[in-house]
């Protein structure tokens, strides 16, 4: 585990960018894998199946996720981390994150948090909590600024 990479979750949000900064500050000597996990079908695509519009394929969602992950890897490189981009597609985003973490035997998963609480968290969900609950390895949840 001494040379195991860190896994940084990235979706091009402010929370994800804060996660990269925290990872660079705390784990600067480790290799980083910057990951974005896309859903197989987005909400818009699920509505499109009801009409005449043909939704994007899973491959297109994966391509968009890889594009976002490459942006994140670039930010991680700028922050001083040796980083590579990776993408996944999974119906449960947390499951995709945990699966990749297991595959690369990540030393830690770094994930930004939007800081949702109460009913908003209940309805919108919390990727960071789901990952922490299922990962079976250390998870660094980077909170939003105060």
**Taking Cα atoms as reference points, which of 6, 139, 137 lies closest to residue 80?**
6
Q: Is residue 124 part of a domain?
A: yes
| Structure confidence at residue 39 as a pLDDT band (50, 70, 90) | confident
Retrieve residue 110's tokens.
């770094």
Q: What is the pLDDT of residue 146?
A: 78
Q: Is residue 1 part of a domain?
A: no
Q: Is residue 72 part of a domain?
A: yes
| Residues contacting 140, CB < 8 A, separation 6+ | 19, 22, 23, 26, 108, 109, 110, 111
CATH of the domain at 58: 3.40.50.620
In terms of pLDDT, which residue wins out, 125 or 90? 90
Q: Is the predicted pLDDT of residue 127 greater than 60, yes or no? A: yes
Retrieve residue 128's tokens.
């960071």
Question: In the chain, pLDDT over 70 holds for what percent of residues?
Answer: 79
**Taking Cα atoms as reference points, which of 6, 2, 73 lies closest to residue 36?**
73
| Structure confidence at residue 48 as a pLDDT band (50, 70, 90) | very low
pLDDT digits (tens, 9 = 90+) for 6-20: 999 999 999 999 999
Total of domains in the chain = 1
Domain that holds residue 34: 6-142
In terms of pLDDT, which residue wins out, 59 or 25? 25
Q: How far apart are CA 113 and CA 129, in angstroms?
A: 9
Q: What is the pLDDT of residue 14?
A: 92
pLDDT digits (tens, 9 = 90+) for 90-119: 888 899 999 999 999 999 999 998 765 555
| Structure confidence at residue 43 as a pLDDT band (50, 70, 90) | very low
Q: Is residue 112 part of a domain?
A: yes
Q: Is the predicted pLDDT of residue 47 greater than 50, yes or no? A: no
Q: Is residue 96 part of a domain?
A: yes
Q: Is the predicted pLDDT of residue 87 greater than 60, yes or no? A: yes
Q: Is residue 97 part of a domain?
A: yes
Q: Is residue 103 part of a domain?
A: yes
């Amino acid at each position: 585990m001494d040379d195991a990479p860190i896994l940084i979750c990235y979706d091009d949000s402010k929370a994800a960018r804060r996660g990269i900064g925290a990872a660079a500050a705390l784990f600067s000597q480790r290799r980083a894998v910057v990951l974005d996990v896309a859903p197989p079908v987005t909400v818009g695509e699920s509505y499109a199946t009801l009409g005449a519009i043909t939704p994007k394929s899973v491959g297109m969602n994966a391509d968009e996720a890889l594009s976002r992950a490459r942006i994140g890897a670039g930010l991680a490189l700028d922050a001083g981390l040796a980083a590579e981009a990776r993408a996944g597609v999974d119906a449960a985003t947390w499951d995709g994150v945990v699966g990749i973490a297991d595959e690369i035997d990540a030393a830690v998963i770094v994930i930004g948090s939007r800081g949702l609480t109460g009913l908003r968290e209940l309805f919108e969900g919390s990727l960071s909590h789901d990952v922490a609950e299922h990962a079976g390895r250390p998870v660094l949840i980077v909170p939003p600024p105060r």
